[in-house]
A = this chain, B = another copy of it.
Amino acid sequence: MTHAALINPLRVRQDFSLLAPTEGGARLVYLDSAATSQKPNAVLEAMDDYYRCANANVHRGVYRLAQEATERFEDGRRAVAELVAAPLAGTIFTKNATEAINLVAWAWGLRTLRPNDVVMVTEMEHHSGIVPWQIVAKMTGAEVRFAPITPDGELDHEWIDHTLASAPVRMVSIVHVSNVLGTVNPVADIVARAHAHGALVLVDASQSVPHMPVSFAGIGCDFMAFTGHKMLGPTGIGVLVGRPEILDGMEPFLGGGEMIADVRTDGSDWADLPNKFEAGTPPIAESVGLGAACIYLSSLGLDAVRAHEVHLTTYALDALSEIDGLRIFGPRDPARRGGALSFHLPDLHPHDIAQLVDEDNVCVRAGHHCAKPLMRALGVNATARASTYIYNDTDDIDALVTALHRARAYFAR
């Protein structure tokens, strides 16, 4: 699907209650979508309608209400699988992207990794792509190695190839788009190189699936993780996509209802995919909401969403560069980066920036963004980060720039 239409943020904002102007005419300049996105009415209404018209537990109910609930729940799964070209049987609901990565670390890693096996992560991973592997490495004797970044915020591909060729790398766990630098990593390419050396690849697509066309099949990876709340969906739901052949051969992770075929006092048998990895009552209303979010995104067109992001990023890179002394982290070419823009002002700490621009209704994040190894690699403790989405426009960037100037002036008083 290609969409001639560009994103019209003014039109899009009408779907988001939180972004409507107040009576005084002020409106929220929300520049923190890399942390979590706002939710369109269609998503909230789908969940509300589910609870008010179809709420029941899924899968086992014979009565019609339970069938209706099951259908809406599974429709959500279908919408997610379609959005990212994933096999339905390999589309597993988790509580967030973090659980999705942990699922692979515990269910695959803990039972597979041997002493001295290497798990390759990168310096630009989110903590959720690091800590699960550290925990499991400690239990198995495997080793976690960090692919370094170059000064311009790209991965050091030579290091990666050298390590793949020289170390027993079993898993490469890598972020698609960095939540701090914005860097878009060439994941399909890395997958091919890793597979050539017999390593599996997990792609953390938390920051890409909401913002650009992403195809599990196209990337060719073995696992892919992303999270509902960053892609217009609700909290409480994440997704692990896995290649069914691999998932079939894995032991389960969480045990309990829904994931079994039989439970006996002397042992149990597992259900088919995807249920084998979905223990307990799943996030039912959340699947309904996430399904509505996928449909909303598809109707905008992910190509258009990405074009809008590039447009805004281009504008923002220019506008921010005008500010005296402001340092931007990550690649300079908007075509090679996502919408997360981290920056530093020499005289204003990120915390103070976030506090001061909030006074002008501008929401930006300050801190380590769950990426402390990256902070160390960049030689900073924290950054301020502005991140855009479909409801932002150049006015929002202008508002940020104005607010930054005002913040500086205020501190110089």
| A interface, CB within 8 angstroms of B | 17-18, 28, 30, 32, 35-36, 38-39, 44, 47-48, 51-53, 55-57, 60-66, 94-99, 101-102, 105-106, 123, 126-135, 144, 146, 227, 229, 234-238, 251-252, 254-260, 262-265, 267-268, 279-286, 351, 354-355, 357-358, 362-367, 370, 372-373, 376
A96 contacts B280, C-beta separation under 8 Å: yes
B373 contacts A263, C-beta separation under 8 Å: yes
Pick the residue among B39, B61, B132, B236 that contacts A254 (CB under 8 A): B132
A56 contacts B259, C-beta separation under 8 Å: no
B51 contacts A44, C-beta separation under 8 Å: yes
Q: Which 5 A-B pairs have the closest CB atoms?
A: A98-B280, A131-B255, A236-B236, A128-B256, A98-B256
Interface of A is mostly: mixed
A321–chain B nearest beta-carbon distance, Å? 24
Residues on the B chain within 8 Å of A267, using CB: 134
Residues on the B chain within 8 Å of A236, using CB: 95, 234-237, 283-286
Residues on the B chain within 8 Å of A146, using CB: 265
A66 contacts B255, C-beta separation under 8 Å: no
A19–chain B nearest beta-carbon distance, Å? 10
B283 contacts A372, C-beta separation under 8 Å: no
A55 contacts B32, C-beta separation under 8 Å: no
Pick the residue among B127, B134, B254, B284 that contacts A98 (CB under 8 A): B254
Asked whether A130 and B263 contact (CB < 8 A) given A281-B36, A281-B235, the answer is yes
